[in-house]
Structure 1
Amino acid sequence: MLAKAFPVDLRRCQVLGLAGTACLALGGETAGALPARQLLAPTSPHAVLGLVGVYFGLVLLTAAWVLLGRLVRGGDPPTPRALVLVLAVWAAPLLIAPPLFSRDVYSYLAQGAMVDAHIDVYAHGPSRLGGPLADEVAPLWQHTGAPYGPVFLAVAAALSGLTRGELPAGLVGMRCVALFGVALMAAALPRLARHSGADPSAALWLGALNPLVLLHLVAGAHNDAIMLGLLGVGLVAALGGRPALGAVLITLAALVKAPAALGLAAVLVLQLRAGRHPVRAVLTTTVAVALTTVTATAVAGTGYGWIGALSTPVSSQNWALTSLLGRATRALLERLDSDLAPLAVPAWHALGLAVTAVALVAIWWRLRPRPVYALGLSLATVAAFGPAIRPWYALWGLFLIAAAAPTTSVRHRMAAVAGVLTLAVLPDGGPADAGRLVLALSGGALAVVVLWQARLAARTPTALGRPA
């Protein structure tokens, strides 16, 4: 209905999306994931107005994205370069906004300061650092080691040294790192789409301009941005006949966050498709991975504690499918006074890992001629059946599925998932409650009313516009 309501052109989409992200940034000034000393009570008038404003902007942004999708599917779609400009315009207000939808960026800064101070970031949580940066980290993670690889921690440590531990400068710096990752994603998507026989503009629309990217990679400054950016350019290099360079870049991505390591399967498959002997393909990839890992770990100076960090515990209240089923099973067993109750969550997590392993084998066996699409489905499976999930984890698979989806219906389903997940987290990253959900719905409803009135105005000629 929305797509039929307005005459669509690129300028209108650009302005509507800009209005949306501007409202997000303004609302975030009082309702975002602010530093502890700036936090307002959720019931304060400024926080209430900010929360309404954030969801007002979120609906405007989503509407602009949907309308842009209609334009991309039309007879004269915008070029990839024009879409990248739209992305830059939409992202601009978020660059100066406070962190939104998560407090993870404070953990990144504290962990970078720990590395800079030569504290073992894998053995100790931010509480060991102490001081203003550590105070910003959520209590849940104060005593938990970093779950990230040495490449990201080296970047965070360098940023800590440059900013001398100053929080405002650190937040800006970390957002610039995330923006660099988004730029790499936008650069890789059209090339991946062409290699996969897909539409580059449609790939950019779904993979880089979707609201999840703007909300969580730009506004939230998540390190998933740099992971996906390195993964994307690594795949471009491998598809272009440079498997060693591709393996190096993908290894760097995996040394930000581990799921990117699945991209090495695509590097191997591409070499085999090019006629390279299997032993040589495996040897080339293995040498590239080993040299990159040893060099990056030595430069970061963090040691190999990141291997053990792969098993860093997850939040007991996260809403991953296996965690939800585990908690439900545990509650049932506790009602039955069963001694098996403590094993319920670990058992479901183990089952999820087993399902993931089987699914990955099936995906790669069936889709090995289409490695980019196979990798996208693999990362989506890891996110769906893993022990923890956050809305931005959906971008792991969506990024590559956008570049290689075989049909329009697949893109539509992924777009629907992205649209739903944009509503999953409140702007301060905290837990939802009934009162704040009502305010969020009010902001969204107000935006819908405004869009509806704009539709009526567009369809109803004014008295001044009628001929005399």
Structure 2
Amino acid sequence: MPPTAPLERAPDLSADGDRPPGERAPTSLPVRTVGLGLLGALLLLTGSLGAGGTLTHDPVLGSGPLSVLRYGHGLTAATALVYTGFGLLVWAWVRLGRGVLAHLVDARGVLLAAAAWIAPLLVAPPLFSRDVYSYLGQGLLALHGMDPYGVGPGELTGPIPENVHPTWQNTPAPYGPLFIGIAKGVLLLAGHELITGIVLMRLMLLAGLLLLVCVLPGLVRHLGGSLPVALWLSVASPMTVIHLVGGPHNDMLMIGLLAAGALLALEGRPAAGVVLVSLAMAIKATAGVALPFLVWIWAARLEGPLWRRFARAVLPALALFAAVFGACVLAAKVGFGWLPALSAPGLIVNYLSLPTGLGQALHILVDLVVDAHPVPFVEFGRSVGSVALAGLIAWQWWRARDGGPDAVRRAAIVLCAAALLSPTVLPWYLTWSVALACALPWTRRGLSWVVGATVVLVVAYYPDGEEAMDNFPLMALGLAAALLAAESLVRFDPLGLRGEPAAEQRFLPAERAGAR
């Protein structure tokens, strides 16, 4: 959850006399760190040609010298390249975070690093997910006049449907009408070129990340955080580089609109904020949980008793939401069938979801005594999670009634809870709350927890998009790497391999006595 205590300013290392021997002067562009992450991204690109979510019949990789990466020892080598690239990217991200916390790297340096790391993946095959094929398949259904909320891409034939994951072949689209319209537009531009369609989809979704970059300075100003830290958390993170861009995932567009809407509300333009968050909800329904918090921000700017102010804010907010959402439905030429289709992700059962994990744990315990079917236990856990989430949303919403930045902070808490307590949790769901929470003040230890969680969440899936959570040796290795990465952010050389003198620890962005 978003932290509450601010970072204490790290020592100023700008004076030569305070710098350890051999250390170079501070720079806004950490060239070696950027280069390390870029190498990792290039390895991810190369490995994805064989180990990623490649096409069933690939016109580029199906024949020729690169085809060796798709089979046998070549596939093993490609997989090794992906994980090596991921490791280097995490290493670079942690190094960049140290520079940010030591005030040696500014916002410009973080953005340049993120751009360098993202660029190679714009043309890579899908990584750690095959969702983009489902996006295109659902757009193709709408383009052919079929209801993507009634049938799945399996109703069609051709290269797009044949690349959709079997789980989603006959599953209706769980996305909002605006996104279905965007998918239709991508297909109109790409025609029958599937690779072009993937790249265009990435570029369209990248607009959300660019929007987030533009609004973060304003959010940081209102929420009291640090801009370099916010950019490091939300833009340069391996979760963004690998999942949101490498995936790619439509969450990237949703969080940009969500953050922009929150900023407009804080800037005294709540109506415009409601419009943008409504558009975010027309991409993915989850953004809708933030709308009630914007109503409090709107109401706080009015005069009179609480409930009168609330009524004067909620009525126009509802009217704006209905108008925006209705316009998206008409423009995309789809119906409202997406509401029942929202349950589609529930087909995935994994223990990243706290309620689902609870149900699975109960089943394991009971199954030790009697033979029991897992479904009732999973459903019980999910029911408990739904009740807990509803209660948490109501509590946080009521406590946000004073509006202002606190309402945005509580919206971030609710978005985090919506990800963790939903029936199914996919790694990139945690980016929902980070889009807002990154602009809050963070403790060093809080940031280290984010680093550890990021590593575990990426490792939870294989590079080709299949679930890896039942591969317990891999998950154990990922957990060990996560703990090491988390500790490396706040403690130089946590394994003690370099034997640095304790006196030099004070020059590093680690936790010190009395520091937060």
TM-score by structure 1 length?
0.87
User: Does the Cα contact within 8 Å between 1:405 and 1:411 map onto a contact in 2?
Assistant: no
Give me the whole-angstrom Cα distance separating, in 2, the residues matched to 1:70 and 1:265. 37
**Which ranges in structure 1 are unaligned for 5 or more consecutive residues?**
460-468
Query: Are 2:219 and 1:192 aligned?
Result: yes
Single out whichever of 318-327 and 362-371 deviates more from structure 2. Answer: 362-371
Distance in 2 (alpha carbons) for counterparts of 1:156 and 1:73: 40
Distance 2:103 2:256 in 1: 30
| Residues 73/336 of structure 1: CA separation in 2 closer, same or farther (3 Å cut) | closer
Distance 2:345 2:249 in 1: 19
Q: CA contact under 8 A between 1:191 and 1:200: conserved in structure 2? A: no
Are 1:288 and 2:354 matched, yes or no?
A: no
Q: Secondary structure at the residue paired with 2:346?
A: coil
2: CA distance, partners of 1:22 / 1:356:
40
1:74 to 2:102 alignment: yes
Letter in 2 for 1:246: G
Higher helix share: 1
What is the root-mean-square deviation of aligned Cα atoms in Å?
3.2
Shift of 1:175: 1.0
Give the residue type in structure 1 aligned to 2:447.
Answer: R
List aligned pairs for 1:401-440, cutoff 5 A: 401-405=437-441, 407-432=443-468, 437=474
- Find the counterpart in structure 2 of residue 357 from structure 1: 390
Bigger shift: residues 196-205 or 367-376: 367-376
CA–CA separation in structure 1 for the residues paired with 2:103 and 2:377: 54
* Residue matched to 2:53: 33
Which residue number corresponds to residue 72 of structure 2?
Answer: 44
- The Cα shift of 1:367 comes to 5.3
Partner of 1:396: 432
Change beyond 3 A, Cα 1:85–1:147: same
Q: 1:207·1:403 contact (CA, 8 Å) conserved in 2?
A: no
1:12–1:366 CA distance, 2 compared to 1 (3 A): farther
Q: Check 1:341–1:207 CA distance in 2 against 1; reply closer, same or farther (3 A cut).
A: closer
**Pair 1:250 & 2:247 matched:** no
Give the distance between the partners of 2:451 and 2:367, measured in 1 at CA: 40
Counterpart of 2:339, as a letter, is I
Of 206-215 and 189-198, more deviation after overlay is shown by 189-198
- Larger mean CA deviation between 266-275 and 14-23 belongs to 266-275
Q: Deviations over 1:105-125 (max 9, x none)?
A: 110011111111111111101
Pairwise mapping of residues 323-338 of structure 1 onto structure 2 (< 5 A)?
323-330=356-363
Would you say the 8 A contact 1:269–1:371 is kept in 2?
yes
Per-residue CA deviations over 1:133-184 (Å, capped at 9, x if unaligned) read 1110111111110110101000001111221232111111111122112111
Shift of 1:191: 1.7
- Which residue pairs with 2:333 in the alignment? 301
Deviation at 1:342, TM superposition (A): 4.7
Alpha-carbon distance change, 171 to 245 in structure 1, aligned in 2, over 3 angstroms? same
Structure 2 counterpart of 1:376: 412
Shift in alpha-carbon separation, 1:408–1:339, aligned structure 2, 3 A: closer
**Structure 2 residue corresponding to 1:108, chosen from 130, 135, 147:** 135
Moved more, 416-425 or 51-60: 416-425
Q: Which moved more, 1:192-201 or 1:42-51?
A: 42-51
For residues 415 and 373 of structure 1, what CA distance do their matches in structure 2 show? Answer: 20
Structure 1 residues 373, 408: closer, same or farther in 2, change over 3 A? farther
- Count, aligned residues: 447
Aligned residues of 2:69 and 2:77 also touching (Cα < 8 A): no
Q: Relative to structure 1, is the Cα distance of residues 6 and 180 closer, same or farther in structure 2, using a 3 angstrom cutoff?
A: farther
Alignment CA distance shift 1:416-1:191 (3 Å):
farther
TM-score (norm. length: structure 2): 0.79
Contact 1:186 1:204 in 2 (8 A): yes
CA contact 1:190–1:201 (8 Å) conserved in 2: no
Give the AA of the match of 2:338: W
Q: CA separation in 1, counterparts of 2:23 and 2:36?
A: 12
Structure 2 counterpart of 1:99, one-letter code = P
Paired with 2:170 and 2:180, the residues of 1 have a C-alpha distance of 17
- Tell me the amino acid that sits aligned with residue 82 of structure 1: G
**CA separation of 1:384 and 1:405: change in aligned 2, threshold 3 A:** farther
2:381 aligned partner: 348
- Following superposition, the deviation at residue 435 of structure 1 comes to 11
State the alpha-carbon separation in 1 of the partners of residues 372 and 97 from structure 2: 53
Question: CA offsets, 1:443-464, max 9 Å, x none?
Answer: x89xx9xxx9xx98x99xxxxx
Q: Distance in 1 between matches of 2:460 and 2:348?
A: 18
**Ranges in structure 2 where 5+ consecutive residues have no aligned partner:** 1-19, 63-67, 304-308, 486-492, 502-516
8 Å Cα contact 2:290/2:411 also seen in 1: yes
Structure 2 counterpart SS, 1:36: coil
The answer to whether the aligner puts 1:63 opposite 2:91 as a matched pair is yes
SS of 1:99's partner is coil
Residues 342 and 49 of structure 1: CA distance in aligned 2, closer, same or farther (over 3 Å): closer
Match of 2:164 among 137, 140, 143: 137
The 1:379–1:133 alpha-carbon spacing in structure 2 relative to 1, beyond 3 Å, is same
Query: Counterparts of 1:212 and 1:46 in 2: how far apart (Å)?
Result: 26
Q: 1:123 to 1:336 in 2, by over 3 A?
A: farther
